[in-house]
Structure 1
Amino acid sequence: MIVILKNSPNKAQLETLISWLQEKGVIVHSITGANQTILGLVGDTAKLDIDLIAALDIVDDVKRVQEPYKNANRKFHPEDTIVKVGNTQIGGGTLSLMAGPCSVESEEQIIEVAKAVKASGATMLRGGAFKPRTSPYAFQGMGADGLELLKLARQETGLPIVSELMDISQIPLFEDVDVIQVGARNMQNFNLLRELGTLRKPVMIKRGLCATYEEWLMSAEYVMAGGNDQVILCERGIRTFETYTRNTLDLAAIPVLKTLTHLPIVIDPSHATGKSALVDPLSCGAVATGADGLIIEVHNNPACALCDGPQSLKPDVFDKLAKKLFSLHGLMKQVED
């Protein structure tokens, strides 16, 4: 349920209303926007008398929210959420580029790539330390040592780091990671999501291979229900009958989610296609469709990469793409304005 208040509500009346609602066993989230204040009510709201609340002097309107996701719902939070990461942000009209190798392989590799992507305009460094692989015989990542190398690269470049966490037991290792990534396979690992809800750190949730929009948003809801509202959604392709590409990138997710939720949306064109030649056009499509950012795999020597070399861009190719994307983003903002 949401309670829309009249402009400049009486402070004493507002505090009384919130206290009364809390006494009814309802969690109250107060959202103050540029033009209005909204109270988002989470819990068993069936016992609340809508007519009684609507009759209060400070209340403009009361609506029940039918969707099962509440905190992630745009009805609860009309204005876009901006996720602050170090000295940069995701959302709020900016274009965020997260770039780096699928897997951290060595100190020399990660620092070289980090310097290259920063010079091209990347705002964050992505790199896998723990790698979920389909085959138990494939490279599983450097683990904790990989995280330490990412921190060295951050020290060298100033770029915030983004890396995937696979298990609750790894949370202490990620204390100094700027953005925790939840992979597609863990999107519905609800115990993990609950624990991440207790943190006050940005969490980026990748869409599961067969997940609907609502299921994806419910995963975000698990994190937000724990008190962590710094959530980013990442579309990385879904599984369809098509086998030419690794997955099928769902660009329709951008305008759909912009309607359903206030959370920022990032696109991963690398995992979506598995082919480096397709990263450029799909990245442009994502920017044109309104994505808040992209997460792109960049490797200094893709042919020798220990993981996902065929979908990785060389630094010079990424540099040309980044210039194109920033130009396109600027053009789109001009058209919108």
Structure 2
Amino acid sequence: MQIDQLNTWRKDSKKPFVMAGPCSAESEEQLFETSKALYESGISVLRAGVWKPRTRPNTFEGIGVDALKWIQNIKQELGPDVQFGVEVATPQHVEESLKHGIDILWVGARTSVNPFAVQDIADSLKGVDVPVLIKNPINPDLALWIGAIERIYQAGIKKVGAIHRGFSSHKKSKFRNIPSWQIPLELKREIPEMPLICDPSHIAGNSDFIYDISQKAMDLNYDGLIIESHRDPKNAWSDAKQQVTPAHLTEILSQLKVRDPKSDNKDFNSHLTELREKIDQVDHDIFNILSERMHLVEEIGQYKKENNVTVFQVNRWNEILKTRAEWAHELGLNEEFMADLFTLIHDASIRRQTQIMNQEEVVENA
């Protein structure tokens, strides 16, 4: 994919691209006041929810086309350098948005999870030159995300970007959507030229966490941020907890540290190479130890088979979880990370022992 860099939106390489605005356009006055405050703080790429896909019916689902007319008026009022982005979920949304001069479109998480819906949007975009951003699907499926990006790209859209807004999960978390940072980073590895934008509002679900998530995105070399901002978040009609005032957003952005992806300092690069070589050696040792562990797992599996004992014993698994958590604590390691790691190791051990249990004995002819 030869994707055009959307980083041309940046006016300063030391600052991230930022798109901001209310979750929902509620009234022309609300949208204008919020947009004006954001614009005066230096943000010229604005967002507004026009159509809102909600979990349940009979809730506020957006103003619709009338909000697009408000956006047209606001762009005329604020000036020619103002751009607006909106979410589209159907070909009709695309048609109306383009008719009303919307500059940027994005495909939401509840749409990107459905290839049929994405293809309908892609077909409606053929022959159009407009930047399109694709949010990750609600479930942690990298292939589905890439597939949505490819469908939009194959429609002839060259300015394509990805938005990381986190993933739904059954796990308890302080976040609304679990970040699962490794998934967008893997997307970046597979499509290096893809501009990657973080949506800390939807990851957080709480304005208290927006700075920390934004800073982590910058530390991971993301290209930009899309943040929900409202003139009066407490009285917002949707997602009130995760929106910030324009003044609060200005404060958050002023505190962000945007670091360089590399350094020209020879001493730094030399020492970094030395440390990475040490990590490579430690990783090699880890692989050797895991190989040794798996050999022991196979030996145990064969022994269980010979003695007609089940593969899984819950008491042993509880013992492993307890002792490994204690070891992690003693060594200053993150206990949640170590629990996740040993769950993966345990799952692989169960699969291997199950294979051994179900292998048929080879009977040699005398």
TM-score for both structures, normalised by structure 1:
0.70
Verify: 1:309 aligned to 2:235, yes or no. no
Residue deviations 1:207-244 (CA, integer Å, cap 9, x gap): 11114222211111111112111111001010122344
1:107 corresponds to which residue? 28
Q: Is the contact made by 1:83 and 1:91 (CA closer than 8 Å) also made in structure 2?
A: no
What's the CA shift for 1:156? 2.6
Residue 125 of structure 2: SS of its match in structure 1?
helix
What's the CA shift for 1:336? 3.9
1:234 corresponds to which residue? 163
What's the CA shift for 1:257? 2.5
Verify: 1:221 aligned to 2:125, yes or no. no
Amino acid at match of 2:107: V
Q: Is the contact made by 1:130 and 1:142 (CA closer than 8 Å) also made in structure 2?
A: yes
Unaligned runs of at least 5 residues, structure 1? 1-70, 72-76
Residue 162 of structure 1: SS of its match in structure 2?
strand
Verify: 1:160 aligned to 2:91, yes or no. no
Residue deviations 1:171-218 (CA, integer Å, cap 9, x gap): 221111100111111113222233234421111111111142222111
What's the CA shift for 1:119? 2.7
2:52 corresponds to which residue? 131
Q: Which of 108, 114, 118 pairs up with 1:183?
A: 108
Structure 1's 170 and 245: CA in aligned 2 closer, same or farther, altered over 3 A?
same
Amino acid at match of 2:158: D
1:121 corresponds to which residue? 42
Unaligned runs of at least 5 residues, structure 2? 265-366
Amino acid at match of 2:123: R
1:333 corresponds to which residue? 260
Q: Is the strand fraction higher in 1 or 2?
A: 1
Structure 1's 307 and 173: CA in aligned 2 closer, same or farther, altered over 3 A?
same
Q: Which of 245, 267, 288 pairs up with 2:198?
A: 267
What's the CA shift for 1:152? 2.1
Verify: 1:171 aligned to 2:171, yes or no. no
Structure 1's 259 and 90: CA in aligned 2 closer, same or farther, altered over 3 A?
farther
Residue deviations 1:104-135 (CA, integer Å, cap 9, x gap): 11122111111222233324101011111111
**Higher Cα Rg: structure 1 or 2?**
2
Q: Is the contact made by 1:165 and 1:182 (CA closer than 8 Å) also made in structure 2?
A: yes
Residue deviations 1:228-274 (CA, integer Å, cap 9, x gap): 11111001010122344211123334432322112101110101121
State how far apart, in whole Å, the 2-side matches of 1:257 and 1:323 are: 28
State how far apart, in whole Å, the 2-side matches of 1:112 and 1:300 are: 7
Amino acid at match of 2:260: K
The two structures, once aligned, show a CA RMSD in angstroms of 2.3
1:97 corresponds to which residue? 18
State how far apart, in whole Å, the 2-side matches of 1:194 and 1:295 are: 26
Verify: 1:257 aligned to 2:187, yes or no. yes
Verify: 1:212 aligned to 2:141, yes or no. yes
Structure 1's 93 and 215: CA in aligned 2 closer, same or farther, altered over 3 A?
farther
Q: Is the contact made by 2:140 and 2:183 (CA closer than 8 Å) also made in structure 1?
A: no
What's the CA shift for 1:165? 1.1
Residue 249 of structure 1: SS of its match in structure 2?
coil
State how far apart, in whole Å, the 1-side matches of 2:140 and 2:96 are: 28
Q: Is the contact made by 1:251 and 1:289 (CA closer than 8 Å) also made in structure 2?
A: no
Structure 1's 287 and 253: CA in aligned 2 closer, same or farther, altered over 3 A?
farther
Matches within 5 A, 1:191-202: 191-202=120-131
Residue 99 of structure 1: SS of its match in structure 2?
strand
Residue 128 of structure 1: SS of its match in structure 2?
coil
Q: Which of 197, 214, 226 pairs up with 1:295?
A: 226
Structure 1's 165 and 91: CA in aligned 2 closer, same or farther, altered over 3 A?
farther
Q: Is the contact made by 1:120 and 1:323 (CA closer than 8 Å) also made in structure 2?
A: no
Q: Is the helix fraction higher in 1 or 2?
A: 2
Structure 1's 135 and 314: CA in aligned 2 closer, same or farther, altered over 3 A?
same
Residue deviations 1:79-116 (CA, integer Å, cap 9, x gap): x731378xx35998861110110001112211111122
Q: Which of 162, 175, 200 pairs up with 1:245?
A: 175
2:362 corresponds to which residue? none
State how far apart, in whole Å, the 1-side matches of 2:211 and 2:36 are: 21
Amino acid at match of 2:132: V
